[in-house]
Amino acid sequence: MSQQAISKTKDVRVIIIEDYKLTRVGLRYALNEIENIDVIAEAQNAEAGLELIRTEQPDVVLMDLGLPGINGLEATSRVKEISPNTKIIILTSHDREEEVIASLGSGASGYCLKDIDPATLSNVIKNVAKGACWIDSNVAHLALKLFPKPENTEIMNNYNSSDVKTKLTERENEVLKLLVQGKSNTEIASELIVSVHTAKAHVCSILQKLCVDDRVQAAVKAIKEGLVSV
């Protein structure tokens, strides 16, 4: 295990769990160059990482899936037990359907592939820390497997994504696009120059019209059905 303590204080406290030292070091230095992100520790396996999380209670954990010993999926489930407020972002080269679904089902708030641009990753970390969810657009369609198939086939046959898009107001379409980008309600409000309360109301209306339960489901459905361009 390797642990890196940083003296400066920033807003989002991050722990990296990754077995390849070069990747850990590269991530740490890249992220610590970003304002409001502080990589407080790192570990090369889940056992050491879980102990760090228990002690440090970080805001966000970057979790690899292919870890030696306890794998990233099991570690993700354990994090939710020992540090419920910690958000987990899976950072992996794995893009198989079962791993995407299992990661989200284990409690991850984000799923990123390792070829992600560092600037994009830093935005994902900040947004996830605020409560947003983010799924790499290259695997977002796989997350649709989380949706149960409707029992009413008549409703399914009559479903048309263009009808859903028509039901959304112009402002809701704008909000949906920002939601797909992983923006929090606060950031949506700032970008559209509305109150946070108004932004939240738009998000709630979108969830209702798309017949989904949360922001992740709304995002993947919007991408899958072509409601927004990515």
Average per-residue pLDDT in the chain?
A: 82
Condensed to tens digits (0 to 9), the pLDDT of residues 44-91 reads 999 999 999 999 999 999 999 989 989 998 899 899 889 989 999 999
Q: Which amino acid is at 131?
A: G
- What CATH number has the domain spanning 148-224? 1.10.10.10
CA dist 43 → 11, 111, 129, 160, 226 (Å): 21, 19, 20, 47, 39
SS3 89: strand
Condensed to tens digits (0 to 9), the pLDDT of residues 123-182 reads 899 989 988 888 887 777 776 655 555 555 454 444 455 555 558 888 998 998 888 877
pLDDT at 148: 54
Which residue did the predictor score with more confidence, 193 or 11? Answer: 193
Locate 201 and state its tokens: 């109301």
Q: Which amino acid is at 41?
A: A
Locate 116 and state its tokens: 């992600």
Cα gap 16→63, rounded to integer Å: 6
Q: Where are the domains of the chain?
A: 12-144, 148-224
Per the listing, tokens 């309360």 go with 197
pLDDT at 182: 75
Helix residue ranges, H only, 32-96: 46-56, 72-82
- What CATH number has the domain spanning 12-144? 3.40.50.2300
